[in-house]
Chains A and B, each alone.
Chain A
Amino acid sequence: MHMSSMDHLILVLLSMVVAFLPRFIPLRIFSTREIPQWFNEWMKYVPVSLFTALVVKDIFINTKDYSFIGLGYLAKIVAAVIVIGVAYRSRSMGLSVVFGLIAVALLALVLPI
């Protein structure tokens, strides 16, 4: 589906709503009430599960036909290992991203990306 600038504007405005509600509703409710324990316990595992799934999509899945490509994007896989090491040692988001970009750019010269 091809989108016009008007579609893009609508997408941005709807994205704002979708991004705002999960940030606002719990903040509003729980600034006057206690947080239910089960909700916190469950939400604890949502970020790690979602981020992993997204990384897997980026480095193991060909999104044209959703096939598993194994080691097809080897440059990204090696760069991902480097990023994990940098993130673990430095705890810095900026360093992790910069090292990741440099690593993938250099690795792409010799490995498939």
Chain B
Amino acid sequence: MENVKPRWREVLDISMPLCLSYIPIGLACGILLHAAGFSWILTTLVSLLVFSGGAQFMIASMLVANAPMHTILIMLFFLELRYALLGSSLSQYMRGTSKKFLYLFAASLNDENYAVNYLKFATDKGWTPKDALMVEHYSLLFWTGANLIGSLIGNMININLDIVDFALTALFLYMIVMQIKNVLTIFISLLSAVLAIIAMVLIKSTMGLVVATLLASLVGFMVEDYLVKHGHEKGFLLKKIKPKASRKVISKSGE
């Protein structure tokens, strides 16, 4: 009888590793938002409504740098554009759901809960859109809670913000590593690094990031297209890299 768990408990168990990993990042994010002048109410609101680690860190650091609102919003748009890919790769599993459900599902879609849901949809026939939404809401709850606590801690103690800010850099580095699928992606990453430095030094603004992202991703797209059309799929550049992971690998790619 002990084996019969209610569905919400089963889904909570599946979501738990993800939820726990949100705690340190959420705390760091709450501390930075507090330093950027956000009250705990605004920090809670932005965590609930935007629900994106990258976006919230970016809001905090750009506010500290006194960036104007339109620059922040343009950067956010490009940062959030990647969700278009995540959304389209999950869309096949969302057939037959209502429009209201899609609103709710899209609003709390995020890199990490996507990874969990994509894996479950791909491997578990019994995984429903309702379960997927539950994973999103659990992660949203932990994320918001950690941000709120971070915001309150930021009020009480003095922390070196250069160090806390590195949480975001580490988060992006992790996401880069999870995106590396073949040698070509490594080359595109290096190309984007060089382009980003040149573009930012020349343009003297974060628009340089947008220029580097568009150029590097287009080069990647065109090189892959060329290689596939000329029958080099199995060549050096596109050969899949299999990581020697010590834990179970959750694929973040839209394959």
Contacts and interface: CB of A to CB of B under 8 A. Distances in A.
Interface string A60-101: 110101111000000010011001100111111111111111
Given A12-B49, A53-B193, A97-B24, A91 B221 contact: no
- A interface bracket (residues with beta carbon within 8 Å of B): 35 or more
A27 B197 contact: no
B152 to A, nearest CB: 17
A70 B59 CA distance: 26
B118 interface: no
A28 B155 CA distance: 41
B130 to A, nearest CB: 15
Give the interface SS of chain A, mostly helix, strand, loop or mixed.
helix
B55 A15 contact: yes
Nearest to B221: A42
Nearest to B79: A50
Nearest to A81: B173
Contact of A56 (B20, B68, B196): B196
Nearest to A108: B163
Given A11-B72, A15-B46, A89-B246, A55 B82 contact: no
B80 to A, nearest CB: 5
Contact of A93 (B63, B109, B171, B254): B171
A49 B175 contact: no
Contacts of B91: 26-27, 29-31, 35
A110 interface: no
